[in-house]
Structure 1
Amino acid sequence: MAQTRILVVDDEPDIRQLMGDILEDEGYVVETAENGETARAAFNREEPDLVLLDIWMPDVDGITLLKEWSASGRLDCPVVMISGHGTLETAVEATRLGAVDFVQKPLSLAKLLATVKQALGKRQAAPRPVAGPRGGDTEPQGSSPQMQLLRQKAEQAACHDRPIFITGEAGSGKETLAAWIHRLGGGDSPFTVLDTTRVNDDAVACLFGDGAESGALEAADTGTLYIPEAALLTREVQVLLSAILEARQWSRPGEASPRPLRCRVIASVSGDPMAHIDNGDLLEQLYLQLNVLPLHLPALRDRPQDVPELVSWYTDWFSNNEGLAWRAFPVSALNRLRNHGWPGNERELRNVVQRLLIMGGEGEVSVQEIEDALKHPATESSGGPATTLPSAFELPLREAREQFEREYLVYQLRKAGGSVGKLSDAVGMERTHLYRKLRSLGIDPKTIASESAS
């Protein structure tokens, strides 16, 4: 089998050498070019399987080369753009001309290798439909003043096609709200949910499509593209989405003419978006573009009067759609559920109701059944009494999460002997993001390494 040939075009010798060495270690055949002229010659001579092309070069820039190759009709290999200070306009233009992805300097080696693999494989992730007991066929439940006001604002937002940004804790029903807004304003048009994990692996194919496969933007058409947990997207994907929203157009790779952005975009994050911006997880410009019509879902613990209504709704849904036995919840059982803190919000309540219908007996649901259903495995020892809850349980969510992350990463870093590379493999986190996370938590790998060596 012929080896895969990669052409690396970059005017910085250190970058060329680094990429060449890494890619050759991975088994690729690498040709390098230091400027536009040598890149032209190498492209015609080598017929590469992939081109890594720097945007900014002194003689002929990467966009010009990409435009030439695209216009010639000979661009039958994927092109990944490299930039140290790319703009939204160049991202849009490069995509329109056929670039399948881009990486930013300073280079993350893990990101580079993942991008190369994805560009060569051209994997396509199909958008998933909404499914489950809280899809777009129902409005968000609850008669509390908070939910009545939320539904009123959502109905107003549904009359316009401007971006909507939904905030709320995990499990609070952000996708349900997005799907309901779509149904109010979109009729029979598609509601497309972007897979935030897969788009991080293959952004261009997942958003714009690849070959005969449609991407998320084409699938959404005149409907709604919902982006859950936008802060989990890589910076590269966020820059690309920001470029699309700025230009209000997009192109499939290799298309000469851009297509107008016809879908409404709804995005969401769990927690405080400003905290995500401060932590570097959310691009401020993308947030400002999405936050045209902001909506906030209140936590379930802040509206306990909605619990009985939700219990009734879920009980009926599981009985009618999954064939589970319908059971009554007496006042004593509902009061116990109202008094629970619901850290997992509506998702946790839904799971508890389903558990009671599947695992419970016949007749009314008892308070003891609810106590058993609410027990968390982490609060019990094997066959013994409940143990003391960790001290972090008494902290606000953000502080508790920060405490856990610090203790977890210190533990894993000690196991790795202070090696950030080994830590990256162990926790499944890209090395560049991991360094940033360690700095934000005040963890010094060198100190851990010296402690491990002593």
Structure 2
Amino acid sequence: MSKAYVLVVDDEPDIRDLVREILEDEGYEVATAESAEAAREQLRERRPELVLLDIWMPGEDGISVLKAWAAAGELNFPVVMISGHGTVETAVEATRHGAIDFVEKPLSMGKLLATVEQALAQHPAAPRPAPVTPVGRSTLMCDLREQAERTAAGDSWVLISGEPGSGRKCLARYIHGLSARRNGPLVEVAAGTIAGSSAAEELFGQEIAGATRTGRLEAAAGGTLVIDGLTDLDAEAQTRLASAIDAGGFQRVGGSAQVPLDVRMIAITRHDPADAVAAGAFRQDLCYALSVIPLEVPALRAHAEDIPELVRFFVDGMVEAEGLKYRRFTVAAQNRLRHHDWPGNVRELRNLVQRLLVLGDGLDIDVDEVEAALATAGPGQADAGWPPSIPLELPLREAREQFERAYLQQQLERAGGSVAGLARLAGMERTHLYRKLRSLGIDPREGSEAGGGRA
């Protein structure tokens, strides 16, 4: 795979050819354009990871092109300006409109390569979270890691199934982090958030009135696209996706240019794929295309022997990353956790560990404290009356106040009337919290007296 895809825009053929040859020798994939219009044509075909843009060109100059991209919301890549007549004023203007650097002609190839590398390092196409190895020494988890590692060695598309909270996204990131695409972007999209008519535009991009908006597939070019809840996509988006897989490319909504499909797709579903197909929620051809390698993440109750190791992993991580006070679970407490059903799977266990570290005192977490925490988290108790019902006809300010009042009252009850505990739960500094409680008409002393708690 190439290091990055770079678009060089310059009206001088010798400069274009020289820069292309130098960058290609360094492993970059390069396209060239001799004018602003030619650059727009290139953008319609494929989104670059970096643009080298000449300022002085016949017709539309580079600064005007940069301003137009920024105004249209299309400036989703770093731009380095090139000029043979550079001045401080033009450099400042270019920076003000979104350029990240400026190089002058005659070009120093050493300076150019250093600038390109720095621009790509400072402005990666997408954040790359460090992959977390799925935790557990049970046979189920050992087998799952082995399957994931074998999967990562190839470039086949993957369909991950399993219950919500079981660690499906963690597995997808793990596969990406081990793959040959690990230096490319990792783009994640929750299908439920783009359901409906906007799904196709979000995935494939859009061309309208001469403007181009890239979609998630282009943003993930050279890397991995993770679609969570694939069966939530509407029929049109599923049809377009199936066609793109079959053709090895796609067209943006409203466009005609063919964009190459250069991604590894990992789809996540909570449903059994065959059941989703039978129910009409999942196209059969799309299911086949994405099920080249099917992986199923087990529910936590199926590998409860891994719970002590998971608990240690969460405690260590929260102490280091969140600055929480270290506490240890007694053997009896760990045994109780192993015999819980965990309907929310690993996510539920993590939330429980966090709550015990935040609210508890003392070094040891014993079985009674775990029992109390499990009871508090049970249905119909801590979450009773939540979320609050807020009339939609209210102005935003009043609706926000109602939500904040209900949220803080609920958290105050969870904290047993303790303002210190409420501050930890809400993540607020106590002085600011007191002012907020006063402005919302909440008297913590009333909660304290009613619940027998302490402030």
TM-score range, shorter chain: 0.5 to 0.7
Cα shift at 1:199: 2.8
Quote the Cα distance in structure 2 between the aligned partners of 1:214 and 1:381.
Answer: 44
Taking structure 1 as reference, are residues 296 and 381 closer, same or farther at Cα in structure 2, changes over 3 Å only? Answer: closer
Describe the shift of the 1:272–1:382 C-alpha distance in structure 2 as closer, same or farther (beyond 3 A).
Answer: closer
Correspondence 1:90-129 to 2 at 5 A:
none
- 1:200 is matched by which residue type in structure 2? A
Equivalence for 1:197: 192
**Cα 1:187–1:374, aligned 2, differ >3 Å: closer, same or farther?**
same
AA at the equivalent of 1:168: G
In structure 2, C-alpha distance between the alignment counterparts of 1:204 and 1:169, rounded to whole Å: 26
CA contact (8 A) 2:191 2:229 kept: yes
Counterpart of 2:365 in structure 1 is: 365
Task: Kindly provide the amino acid, as one letter, of the partner of residue 340 in structure 1.
Answer: H
CA pair 289-382 structure 1, distance change in 2 beyond 3 A:
closer
> Is structure 2 residue 175 aligned with structure 1 residue 181?
yes
**Separation of aligned partners in 2, 1:331 and 1:208:** 52
Contact 1:130 1:136 in 2 (8 A): no
CA distance in 1, matches of 2:126, 2:185: 9
Q: TM-score, normalised by structure 1?
A: 0.53
Q: Deviations over 1:261-283 (max 9, x none)?
A: 11100001113222222222222
The change in CA–CA distance for 1:208 and 1:354 in structure 2 (over 3 A counts) is same
Check the 8 A contact 1:136/1:176 in 2, yes or no.
Answer: no
Aligned with residue 167 of structure 1, among 161, 166, 185: 161
**Quick one: which amino acid aligns to residue 321 of structure 1?**
A
The aligned residue for residue 435 of structure 1 is: none
Measured at CA, do residues 241 and 136 of structure 1 come closer, stay the same or move farther in structure 2, by a change above 3 Å? farther
- Corresponding residue number in structure 2 for 1:150: 144
Q: Structure 1 CA distance, aligned partners of 2:194 and 2:361?
A: 44
State the distance in 1 between where 2:285 and 2:349 align: 35
Superposed displacement of residue 288, structure 1 = 0.8
Distance 1:324 1:239, change over 3 A: same
- Range moving further from structure 2, 189-198 or 147-156: 189-198
Contact 2:199 / 2:233 at 8 angstroms: preserved in 1?
Answer: no
- Higher-RCO chain (CA-CA 8 Å, sequence separation at least 6): 1
Matching of residue 299 in structure 1 with residue 299 in structure 2: yes
- Residue 123 of structure 1: how far off its partner (Å): 11
SS in structure 2 at match of 1:193: strand
- When normalised by structure 2's length, the TM-score is 0.53
Q: Counterpart of 1:311 in structure 2: which amino acid?
A: V
The residue identity in structure 2 corresponding to 1:317 is: G
Cα offsets for 1:314-349 (capped at 9, x unmatched): 111111111111111111111111111111111111
User: Is the Cα contact below 8 Å between 1:199 and 1:237 reproduced in 2?
Assistant: no
Compute the displacement of 1:188 (Å).
1.8
Structure 1: distance between partners of 2:258 and 2:251: 5
Aligned-partner Cα distance in 2 for 1:233–1:317: 34
SS of match in other structure, 2:226: strand
Determine what percentage of the aligned residue pairs are the same residue.
Answer: 37
**Structure 1 unaligned blocks of 5 or more:** 1-72, 74-94, 97-121, 384-454
CA contact under 8 A between 2:200 and 2:236: conserved in structure 1? no
Partner of 2:365, secondary structure, is coil
Q: How far apart are residue 129 of structure 1 and its match?
A: 6.8
Instruction: Give the conservation status (yes or no) of the 8 Å contact 2:192–2:229.
Output: no
Counterpart Cα distance in 2 of 1:287 and 1:382: 37
The answer to whether the 8 Å contact 1:129/1:193 transfers is: no
Residue 337 to residue 382, structure 1, CA distance change in 2 (3 Å)? closer
**For residue 230 of structure 1, what is the aligned residue in structure 2?**
230
Q: In structure 2, what is the Cα distance between the partners aligned to 1:244 and 1:194?
A: 18
Deviation at residue 231 of structure 1 after TM alignment: 1.5
**Secondary structure in 2 matching 1:194:** strand
Runs of 4+ in structure 1 over 6 Å off: 128-131
Quick one: distance in 2 between partners of 1:299 and 1:160?
A: 26
Structure 2 Cα separation of the partners of residues 136 and 165 of structure 1:
21
CA RMSD of aligned residues (A): 2.8
Question: Can you list the C-alpha shifts for 1:123-176, whole angstroms capped at 9, x where unaligned?
Answer: 99x9x9779xxx642111111011111111111111111110111111111111
Name the stretch that deviates more: 253-262 or 170-179.
253-262
Q: 1:353 to 1:123 in 2, by over 3 A?
A: farther
Equivalent position SS for 2:329? coil
Task: Map 1:25-424; keep pairs closer than 5 Å.
Answer: 136-185=130-179, 186-201=181-196, 202-210=198-206, 211=211, 213-253=213-253, 255-375=255-375, 376-380=377-381
Describe the shift of the 1:280–1:204 C-alpha distance in structure 2 as closer, same or farther (beyond 3 A).
closer
For structure 2, which runs of at least 5 residues remain unmatched after alignment? Answer: 1-36, 38-43, 46-71, 77-124, 385-455
| SS, match of residue 364 in structure 2 | coil
Give the structure 1 partner of residue 453 of structure 2.
none
CA distance in 1, matches of 2:351, 2:382: 22
Query: How far 1:256 moved relative to its partner?
Result: 4.4
Q: In structure 2, what is the Cα distance between the partners aligned to 1:381 and 1:358?
A: 16
1:163–1:290 contact (8 Å) kept in structure 2: yes
Specify the alignment match of 1:119 in structure 2.
none
Decide whether aligned partners of structure 1 residues 324 and 246 sit closer, same or farther in structure 2, where only a CA change above 3 A counts.
same
**Paired amino acid for 1:329:** F
What residue in structure 2 maps to residue 106 of structure 1? none
